Structure 1
Amino acid sequence: MTTPNTFSRSWHGADDSSKQVYEPSDRYAEVVPGQNAPLPVEHQPYDAPVSTHIQYDPQQKEPATAYYQNVDGYAQQQQQQYQQQAFTPDPSSPRVTASTPLTSNSQPLEKDGKSATRSRPSWLLAAGVALVAALIAAAVSGIAVWKATETKGAVNCETTIGPDGRPTPTGGKDGEAVTCPAIMGTSVGGAEKAIRENSGLAAVGWRTKDEQHIQLIYQDPDDNLMTSWFGSMFVNWTVPRKVAMKSGDKAMGGTPLTVSTIWFATNVADEFMAQNQMYYLSPNGTVRGYNFRLIWPIGMPDGVMLENFQASPQSSLSTLWPFQHYQDSDGSIYELTLVNNKAKLSDVRNADKGTPLLALPVTSKHDRDELRLFYRDTEGKLALFERDATGKVTEATASLGIPIPADAKLAGFANARAATGPGINTFLLWQDASHAKENGGIRILSQTGGAKDWTGPASDPVFKDADVPTHVTCVNEGMGGSNISGQDAPLLSTSSDMNRCFFQAGRKLKQVWYDGKQWVDLGFVLMP
């Protein structure tokens, strides 16, 4: 399979992977959970590789090759920088080794009848440097050719009882073991500088070989967009970092945020590359976007930057690749397509002005035209617009009859119910300030087990410290879109390991996890 050429000017989210360097023979550090994974006692931050400036190519819709110079408001960063951390392994935790161990058959050389003993320290130093470099390159996965697969070698959670009497973490249903995300004990002293009160939030997760990745996007008090990355190999979050935006691309204060994932084909058969597509509003309400890969962790501008899609300043945003949604000043809901065309969703006639928007999959295999779009109708009730793989509106399109506040922000996620078949479980979350004394007012509505009816809304003590108000966002597993040339659409996983949701508690960014049975507190996102 050949690498796709850069798309024409009319495409947003276009692939410019031909400008990147891929090494199919890259080595990956193999971490065996429970044996050689980093200890969760001292959670060290790590820095992903940094590209420092992006220039627009006037002849292309997509950004030109990364140009390394100063970004507006950033210090010059010509070299990759990694935070050095002291780490003392537990005796029961063997050290992490590369998948291809470094070995040498070299023997001390002799010259003039003397053993070359002085060369030994240099040899050891060189070997050590090589090993460290190999581990850093493997762990960060900076040179990116990845295969979308299920996570292997999952850790088994053991039920323990926390101070509040709740299991944390828990086992699965009927005592079955489940994949166990790390429980963080991280520094959050810099939260007041890293994230504004009641910030917009967006999250997406995806799998690459045996690793899991999550990207969070939020806004700081100066209206800069910020991003944090989670890697399962490091068992922690990166430090917050500004998205590398040009001064003219500034976001509206309090902008809504949304993100989803494209899987691009590469020149390696059956291997695909994840690219996250993030959208926000400019100060005048224009839809804007930046794209991210592990090799562009602080962003590159999306092709939508050259368009002028005007949303209401009160509009929410949603995305499920290849579609994005916004509301105009008349209250109409518009859908942006793969080629930067916009279309009015004429079957969504009763959306309330300022409605929240949330796009989720219909089945575990996301066919290109499938969509579930949740919103608030003019009667103040939660409503659903559903479209099948042929683009036809389904009978599920209706009001769900659940009242939600006018200022509510919708969050949600979906899981596949089985390894085969289309069935999914869906969860919706929002905050109702009138119920603030009941677990922070966070309401949970679910549709599981193949039922057509919805259960709830319910609440859970894991949300009891939620700020009022706060946005809520949940990780949606990056599915891409099928039936799109040069792209892939991995099946929605049956695993619960990325069922994470985020909200602010004491301004800090709290993360919680639904293990398939109940909610678990995972602590705070790193903000030193």
Structure 2
Amino acid sequence: MSNPIRYANVPSQPDYSGLQVAPNPVESSPEVVSGEEKIIYSYEALKHDDTLYSPKKELPLAPDHPPATTPTTAPTTKDKKRWPRKYYIIGAIAVVIVILSATLGVSQLLPGRLLTSDGGFVRYAVYNAPRNGSLAYSMSTGSGAPDDSKWEKAMSLKPQYPAANGTPIAISQLRQYAGDVTYQLEVFYLNKTNRINGENHNRAKGWGHDGINEKGFTALPESDLSAYWPYLVYQSREVSLQMVIWTGKFDSSDLSIRPARGSQLGLVPTTRNYTKMATHGRIGLFYQDEASKLIAFENSLKTKIPEGDKDANVTDVVWNSTFPDIRLPNTGHFTVFSVASDSNKTADTVDTLVLYGDDSQKIQQVWRNGTENTWETSTPDAFQDIDEWSKIACVTPPMWTNAEEQMRLAFASDLTRCFFQGSGRLMEVQFDGAAWKAPKEVPLT
């Protein structure tokens, strides 16, 4: 089947308090060494009266074993010192809402959270087991404070096709109804022949192979992946960007854009309305061009905007012509996320924030104030102690629409977090909608 919504027609299922797991435990996973790993952080959350609940701070700790591969990216420091457990964080929204995604060692780690109907939650972490092309995941469940729940032992998840070592991972979430509330997680990765593959998770049925596996989309080996449902963007073997969109089936369009080879990629909504985002072109694409310039481009598919969408032309001008001239180091890193500008339920304005490392490894910030339709720049203090080789990962809330309800892009909440490495420790910092709070260490227990 090409339909990724594999379980939309199953009978009504009772709510599950946890995720179903694969039977085989993961016996070992690599030590994390700077330059050998990536982290992408994202999340899933269910709306209850416009309230988003936080996955808080915990990430699972994987057991050690010797590194499986030679690092593909050398550390930026002259001293290639090994840290016993160091995390190299990259911001991908890769995971859309999802999503929290991340990578351990040469593997990709995706921590996230779902709320159950009884107010409980399920947190999960998925990563690439580099020695055999399999994926692995851990989960924790609870109904109180997430800090009170514990991560379970990692379990194996064998994809239909083996994952490439160090593959990028992008995650999306979609909402279904199958008699009762059904969420589906879409996990995209590159296999060993650089084809885009996926595994999906449905609480009622567990893990399944995704319909995108039948499409044969092939990426550049160095390609990044970024997703925000129903979109997925990647770099083709010809180096141009390809946008995959789900419209009842997966279709791919050549955007006729040539970014720098191996550029990081980012996708974020430019509206709070799912229908406008999915059908009116209201999706923001970020990439580094061949001149090292950071590009922000709304409506890269050149979708015809309905006359009734009066805000589209305004945002299009702002996004595509007034973005500051920012030059990144060669294949420089950046991360991007969006939140609603206003907690007003009817407002449609969106704030978008970009964090990037400049030539001196200092973290800079550029953001679009949705209510003012302007881009501004600053140097946030929250990231001043970031390790020079570290990247940053941030999260964007989910959106969906169906016959029963519409989930609009949320205002900043305690879920609005970014993660980075500081002094060899994994740190998190919250954005409250106006300013950054003091960073805190993430306890890895």
TM-score, with length taken from structure 1: 0.60
Shift of 1:74: 7.5
> CA separation of 1:215/1:470 partners in 2, compared to 1, >3 Å: closer, same or farther?
farther
Task: Choose which of 248, 251, 265 in structure 2 pairs with 1:341.
Answer: 251
> CA separation of 1:426/1:460 partners in 2, compared to 1, >3 Å: closer, same or farther?
same
* Aligned mates of 1:240, 1:253 — CA distance in 2: 24
Shift of 1:224: 5.2
Task: Choose which of 320, 330, 348 in structure 2 pairs with 1:397.
Answer: 320
* Aligned mates of 2:258, 2:169 — CA distance in 1: 23
Shift of 1:282: 1.3
Matched, 1:380 2:292: yes
* Aligned mates of 1:274, 1:313 — CA distance in 2: 31
Task: Choose which of 473, 480, 499 in structure 1 pairs with 2:416.
Answer: 499
Shift of 1:455: 2.1
The corresponding residue for 1:235 is 146
> CA separation of 1:304/1:240 partners in 2, compared to 1, >3 Å: closer, same or farther?
farther
The corresponding residue for 1:464 is 385
Matched, 1:10 2:9: no
Matched, 1:474 2:391: no
**How do residues 356-371 of structure 1 correspond to structure 2 at under 5 angstroms?**
356-367=264-275, 368-369=278-279, 370-371=282-283
* Aligned mates of 2:430, 2:138 — CA distance in 1: 18
The corresponding residue for 1:278 is 187
Shift of 1:212: 6.4
> CA separation of 1:359/1:283 partners in 2, compared to 1, >3 Å: closer, same or farther?
same
Q: Secondary structure at the match of 1:304?
A: helix
Task: Choose which of 435, 439, 453 in structure 1 pairs with 2:360.
Answer: 435
The root-mean-square deviation of aligned C-alpha atoms, in Å, is 3.9
* Aligned mates of 2:443, 2:254 — CA distance in 1: 38
The corresponding residue for 1:114 is none
**How do residues 238-317 of structure 1 correspond to structure 2 at under 5 angstroms?**
238-239=150-151, 242=154, 244-246=156-158, 249-268=161-180, 272-294=181-203, 299-317=207-225
Cα deviations by residue, 1:326-371 (Å, 9 ceiling, x for unpaired)? 111222111112112211123xx34222221111011111222231
The corresponding residue for 1:520 is 438
**How do residues 78-89 of structure 1 correspond to structure 2 at under 5 angstroms?**
none
The corresponding residue for 2:261 is 353
* Aligned mates of 2:328, 2:113 — CA distance in 1: 27
Give the unaligned 5+ runs of structure 1. Answer: 1-8, 29-47, 53-69, 76-145, 155-178
* Aligned mates of 1:205, 1:280 — CA distance in 2: 20
Matched, 1:50 2:20: yes
Shift of 1:308: 1.3
Shift of 1:372: 0.9
> CA separation of 1:267/1:238 partners in 2, compared to 1, >3 Å: closer, same or farther?
same
The corresponding residue for 2:80 is none
* Aligned mates of 2:253, 2:112 — CA distance in 1: 25
> CA separation of 1:326/1:274 partners in 2, compared to 1, >3 Å: closer, same or farther?
same
Q: Which deviates further from its counterpart, 367-376 or 247-256?
A: 247-256
* Aligned mates of 2:439, 2:262 — CA distance in 1: 31
Cα deviations by residue, 1:15-51 (Å, 9 ceiling, x for unpaired)? 4044465237x9x9xxxxxxxxxxxxxxxxxxx4433
Aligned-pair identity (%): 21
Shift of 1:375: 0.9
Q: Secondary structure at the match of 2:3?
A: coil
> CA separation of 1:228/1:246 partners in 2, compared to 1, >3 Å: closer, same or farther?
closer
Cα deviations by residue, 1:172-195 (Å, 9 ceiling, x for unpaired)? xxxxxxx88756699788684996
> CA separation of 1:362/1:523 partners in 2, compared to 1, >3 Å: closer, same or farther?
same
Q: Secondary structure at the match of 1:401?
A: coil
Q: Secondary structure at the match of 2:237?
A: coil
Shift of 1:514: 1.5
Task: Choose which of 391, 412, 420 in structure 1 pairs with 2:336.
Answer: 412
CA contact (8 A) 2:19 2:139 kept: no
Q: Secondary structure at the match of 1:519?
A: coil
Shift of 1:200: 4.8
Cα deviations by residue, 1:444-494 (Å, 9 ceiling, x for unpaired)? 32222523332225233446243x4334322222213x4xx7796411122
Q: Secondary structure at the match of 2:213?
A: helix
Shift of 1:443: 3.2
* Aligned mates of 1:224, 1:430 — CA distance in 2: 32
